[in-house]
Amino acid sequence: MGIPGLTSFVHSTRNLWTTIDLHDTKLLIDGKALLFYLYENSDLDCRCGGQYNEFYRTVVAFFVALKSRRVDCYVVFDGTIDPSGKKLKTIKKRVKESLKTANKLSISADNRLFLIPLLSAHVFKQALRDESIPFAICDSEADAEIASLAAAGDCAVLSYDSDFLIFDVKGGYIPLSFLRWKSGPLKAKIYYRSKLASHFRIRPELLPLLASLAGNDYVSGNALADFHSALSRVQTNTRATSKREAKFAKIASFLRELPSSCSQEEALKSTLELITSQRSRNTLQHVIELSLQEYKMKETNLLHYFEKGLIHSSLQTLHGKQEIEEWVLPHFRAGKISIDSMNTLTSGRNFLRFQVENFEEISSNCCSLDLRRFVYGILSKAGTVDGIRKITTVEESDRQGLQVIEFNVEPDIGDSVLSWSLVPFLELEERYSVLLFALDTDASDVSSLPESAILIASSVRYLINHSKPAVNMNHLKALLCCWVLLKNSSSKSKSGERRPTKSSSMFCLHAAHSFCQWQCVVRDAIMLNYTLLEPVPSPHIHEVFCGTLAKNLHGELQKGRSVEKLLLSPSSDVQSYHMLYSAVTKDLSHKIRTPKHTRGKKTKKKPSSSHTKHPTTSAGAKP
């Protein structure tokens, strides 16, 4: 949820921390927090589309360091959007913030800005699988699940979320920035909430109420306005040294004056009595009760999953209120069913992510719209009751120009779209045919390729068929060269040598937009592949694409260098490139734009399309 100001206050209060050597123990890890932390703090580019190869190596190095000290790690990720909608306001706010960040990065390389690249989570989970690190996807938000698991296993939590300063985690909480893992013994600073309670001289049981009264995702400043106004009139004994500390100290002082036997519920009642307006009191009571519910330790769905592989879930379909089919849940827990797919089933929503692209063009998410409609159709046919479809539209959140807009998308329910309920009973060949059909690819187009290359090659073909504007030949060549260089283990030094600084002047917005469209296609192709129980292996993204490398290769191609010179290579690399090129362009060459060399020439500025209609404004309309 996040409590503004609490992290910086606690981090700066030295007597709340204990330095430990981390070894021979279990550790519960907040997957999303670690994913963001490792990418953002490893000097990796987030402007050109993802330095996935180096990110993969960073993740592996992190877990190798922990394993070397016999630390058994268990990683937990957020799952679906809460179908009640109680966090929608926060989610929408973050979506808008990410769009602003993406736009700023498209204009200038500002190292202070951060936007996680689109396929980073796929790379992160692949590293976990390769290192045999147990991980699981929650039913919904992970914080309470992680805290409950840590309590059940009596172990510490590693995260970067101020909520863990409040949860009753007896094993302690280690912020990611307080763990030294890159060299020498593993040193960490650990926090126990009993120390914060002692600091404020209140009982630990009242910390969730203190946090809620300070404000979080559920309890807004507006809801708290009357409370803080009333609190300012109450004489409290505080010794705060800063404005930041004063807010918490004043609330703590008020709670401290309550009877020592006062329960959290009674303390909330006393708090509400400070407010004269019945309407304000009712509003505050509602949001605080929601907030306190989030801090409660609960029976975890994941304990028996990690111990015995047993699956327990409370997920239900949106309208039918049916249980999710049993065969789906093990795949979902293991990260082999897309969270976007499960959001479609449970809440009928899909919040699409933004990248650093050309904001004068339609959203790069539009390129793979038909692919998502195909997946929605499969899920829609599974969500039927008495033959009536319950998922008639999916609400997608995407951009139109620089505005976040919600669009209703009709699932594809054509004869070629099967029901998800039938998928486990289909032969591999049948599922493979459905996958290729949706990707506009014939089996003969990719018959010359190894199985591991089929999904990516088909995704490139889909890009050529659906890209707007059409794919430029040099964009395509850069993409394929990047794939060949990364796949060949002997090219690691080459890709590393090509990494530019974040402020490189070679950034080309048009090429970036092409690469963004392709990543959207790959994301949705993987979603479809998972939905069909992987008729082909899902790709290892770090062996396929690196944004900085692709950008540099495109720059060299624009200067007139040939593919053969870029590959610097053994003949096998050149052969691999031509085999891929032949497969992805078969019968599609006419759809690829020939690059125009415009150096020194003035080009007409394209008019802004910030008011261009998104293809999904009319439900289900095709781009």
Check if the beta carbon of residue 276 is closer than 8 Å to that of residue 229: no
**Spatial distance between the Cα atoms of 440 and 370, rounded to a whole number of angstroms:** 11
pTM of the model as a whole: 0.90
Alpha-carbon distance of 126 to 331, in angstroms, equals 15
Ramachandran area for residue 602 (φ above 0: left; ψ -120 to 50: alpha; else beta): beta
Chain position carrying tokens 């109450």: 234
Q: What is the pLDDT of residues 305-364, one digit of tens each?
A: 999 999 999 888 876 567 888 999 999 999 999 999 999 999 999 999 999 999 999 999
Tell me phi and psi for residue 355, to 5 degrees: -130, 175
- CB 539 within 8 Å of CB 52: no
Residue 563 tokens read as 């593919």
The candidate with the shortest Cα–Cα distance to 576, out of 584, 349, 70, 508, is: 584
E strands present in 378-427: 384-385, 388-389, 394-400, 403-409
Q: In the prediction, which pLDDT does 494 show?
A: 41
Pairing mode, strands 135-137 and 71-77: parallel
Q: How many CB atoms lie within 10 A of CB 14?
A: 7
Q: Is 199 helix (H, G, I), strand (E, B) or coil?
A: helix
Question: Could you give the CA distance from residue 339 to residue 190 in angstroms, rounded to a whole number?
Answer: 32
User: Can you give the pLDDT at residue 320?
Assistant: 57
Run of H or E including 288: helix 278-295
Contacts of 537 (CB under 8 A, 6+ apart): 451, 452, 455
Core vs surface per residue 63-86: b (16+ CB within 10 A) or e: bebbeeeebebbbbbbbbbebeee
Q: What is the pLDDT of residues 402-439, one digit of tens each?
A: 999 999 999 998 888 999 999 999 999 999 999 999 99
CB distance 49 to 117 below 8 Å: yes
Neighbour-count burial for 366-385, b at 16+ CB within 10 Å, e otherwise: bbbbbbbbbbbbbbbbbbbe
- What's the pLDDT at 616? 46
pLDDT at res. 321: 66
Cis preceding-peptide flag for 117 (omega within 30 of 0): no
* DSSP per-residue string spanning 252-272: HHHHHTS-TT--HHHHHHHHH
pLDDT means per 10 residues, the chain with 623 residues, are: 83 93 96 97 94 97 96 96 81 95 93 95 98 96 92 94 92 96 91 94 92 84 82 65 76 88 88 87 88 86 91 82 86 96 92 96 97 94 63 93 95 90 95 96 94 97 96 97 84 41 64 97 98 97 96 94 86 90 95 68 38 44 36
If phi > 0 it is left, if psi is from -120 to 50 it is alpha, else beta; for residue 440 that is: left
Nearest to 119 by CA among 406, 461, 529, 518: 518
3-class state of residue 205 by DSSP: helix
265 by Cβ neighbours in 10 Å (0-12 / 13-18 / 19+) ranks as exposed
